[in-house]
Amino acid sequence: MRFSTVATFLALAFMAGCAARVNKPVGTPAGTLAELRNVHPDVQEVKVEQGLEQAMQNYRRFLDETPETTMTPEAVRRLADLQLEKQFGIIT
């Protein structure tokens, strides 16, 4: 008898959790993937001062502070790309 009571309670809680959906205005976070069709991306350009130097510093700090992982070669490659951009003025 106790098992059926617990099972019934869990089933009811599960159904209530699935049924509870609050209609939120478009553009608010925590919606469904289908609601993303209604969200307009922010494409305004922003000028970042010292962005290249700051990115290089962050990659160096990442390499110094973290153990070697699968992301290490990617961080080294990206740091080298940034150094080339700085030295030769290449903008990608």
Task: Report the half-sphere exposure of 31 (CA within 13 A, side-chain side).
Answer: 14
CA distance 56 to 78: 9
Is the pTM higher than 0.75? The answer reads no
Query: What b-and-e string marks burial along 16-37, b requiring 16 or more CB atoms within 10 Å of the CB?
Result: eeeeeeeeeeeeeeebeeeeee
Distance CA 22, CA 29 (A): 12
pLDDT in tens, the chain (92 residues): 576 787 887 777 777 776 655 565 655 566 788 888 888 888 998 877 788 889 999 999 999 999 998 989 999 999 999 999 888 887 65
